[in-house]
Structure 1
Amino acid sequence: MPVSPSVSRVDGSGPEAVIFDFDGLLMDTESTSLRSWQFEWRQWDLELDATAFFVNHGGDITEDRYAQLATAVGDRFDRSLSHDRRVCYRDNLHESLDLAEGIRAWLEQAAESGRRLAVASSSPRDWLIRHLGRAEVLDQFEVLAGGDEVGGHKPAPDVYELALRRLGLPPTSAVAVEDTAHGVDAAHAAGLACIAIPNPFVRPEAVEHAELVLPSAAEVSLERALVGARA
């Protein structure tokens, strides 16, 4: 589906809704994920190749990562022990994890301007609820669409299409915010204009096909970003 050049609210002042990705965008759970896997590899006296960790994927590849570790460890690998230990370490990291820089201000600005908010993520819905609740912003999002609710993961448009259906809006009435190339591709495939804020493991040139690329949400106000995405 082509991206519409016309994105507007009912009152003509811009998009009615903003649909955010979650991991690496609203919160830097990409860094905590990497750190948890590095920790777990070291428990087996091994070093994870971090350069190949963030491949351009969509959906949950946790089992692929355990399979890679199991191959490296050999017969002594204990999947249950490894998982429990890694998740405990990761969850401890998450206790101090807040929203990404500038995001809380964007959410406040969206509320002030009457814009509706949604999340469209490849992660499961309960993951979104847990983290947004801990950050005390869950009630600011009218719609959550998780990867466990759709058949195809990003770069397929399924999760964005689900978010749009739940909002009851056409893609011309919303703008997506993403942090990866496959996320931008998913938004475009759903007919959405997209703002890209690449996470620390994504090169800015990888998301240059977005309508607007920013180093962080703190760079400009939400309103200016939305104007830039429609330019």
Structure 2
Amino acid sequence: MIKGVIFDFDGLILDTETAWYHAFKKVLQSQFQFELPLEEFVKSVGSDDKQFYPYLQKELGNQLNIEDIQYQAAALHTQFIRNEKAREGVVEYLRDAKDAGLGVALATSSDTSWATSHLKHLNLLSYFDYVVTKDMVDRVKPAPDLFLKALEKLELESHEAIVFEDSLNGLIAAQEINIPTVIVPNPVTASLPFENYHLKLNSMMDMPLQEVIHSLNK
């Protein structure tokens, strides 16, 4: 019996990931005439930058100033997402989860200030009973720590919750502790080799939340 839902944030609720890719791509093209391959960037999606920045350092060598690249990309990213709204179906899913009396948690590899500030801007923060971020755990995705903490907060077992994710790192984290997972990829993550998920949707508009939960409660 499903009693709670756990949502990722970046790329799932707000498509910050596509904006980050285009921001870094533009900066690297402008400064170094370097074409950032999507398949390299996407390895860090849903997790942290431990793979991404060493990759850039390897490709660009001593000419690369990571802090400067981060600063310029962040400025562009702010422009790109300034008027972005939540992805299709997100508001409906959150509203339906609350109406159904389900526990609702966020589990994100981003920090608390990032997640909460964007949720406030989108007028979505009030839907969440708990917000679990990288500030609260030792390891981010693909480790399962964020989901374990979310389950602890919701006072649920793995089989009593469902995770909504857009990234492979998120799916791996959920699979490690056997939480049923619905994949809703964005343009950056759409080509990732997702396997062994419960459902995969192009958008949350494809299937009502009640129908998703019913498919698990059978």
Question: Of 80, 87, 97, which residue of structure 1 is paired with 2:74?
Answer: 87
Displacement of 1:94 after TM fit? 1.7
The answer (yes or no) to whether the contact 1:193–1:230 under 8 Å persists in 2 is: no
The Cα offsets for residues 107-156 of structure 1, whole Å up to 9 and x where unpaired, read as 11112212221111122222211211111101111111112321222222
Aligned partner of 1:146: which letter?
T
* CA RMSD of superposed structures (Å): 2.3
The answer (yes or no) to whether the contact 1:177–1:197 under 8 Å persists in 2 is: yes
Number of equivalences: 217
The answer (yes or no) to whether the contact 1:197–1:213 under 8 Å persists in 2 is: yes
Tell me the SS of whatever aligns to 2:105: strand
The Cα offsets for residues 160-214 of structure 1, whole Å up to 9 and x where unpaired, read as 0001111222223211111223322211222321112122233478324111221
Aligned partner of 1:109: which letter?
D
Verify: 1:50 aligned to 2:29, yes or no. no
Question: Of 106, 110, 131, which residue of structure 1 is paired with 2:97?
Answer: 110
Structure 2: gaps of 5 or more residues: none
1:157-176 superposed matches below 5 A: 157-176=144-163
Sequence identity, in percent?
A: 27
Matched residue, 1:16: 3
Give the whole-Å Cα distance in 2 for the aligned partners of 1:164 and 1:106.
Answer: 19
Displacement of 1:76 after TM fit? 4.6
Give the whole-Å Cα distance in 1 for the aligned partners of 2:193 and 2:155.
Answer: 31
Taking structure 1 as reference, are residues 84 and 182 closer, same or farther at Cα in structure 2, changes over 3 Å only?
A: closer
Structure 1: gaps of 5 or more residues: 1-7, 9-14
The answer (yes or no) to whether the contact 2:43–2:51 under 8 Å persists in 1 is: no
Q: Greater CA deviation, 41-50 or 202-211?
A: 202-211
Give the whole-Å Cα distance in 2 for the aligned partners of 1:76 and 1:44.
Answer: 10
Give the whole-Å Cα distance in 2 for the aligned partners of 1:226 and 1:137.
Answer: 21
Verify: 1:60 aligned to 2:43, yes or no. no
The Cα offsets for residues 38-84 of structure 1, whole Å up to 9 and x where unpaired, read as 121123142322332212665211x6544444555554544443322
Verify: 1:146 aligned to 2:156, yes or no. no
Matched residue, 2:122: 135
Higher normalized helix content (fraction of residues)? 2
TM-score w.r.t. length of structure 2: 0.88
Tell me the SS of whatever aligns to 1:218: helix
- Structure with max Cα Rg: 1
Question: Of 149, 158, 182, which residue of structure 2 is paired with 1:195?
Answer: 182
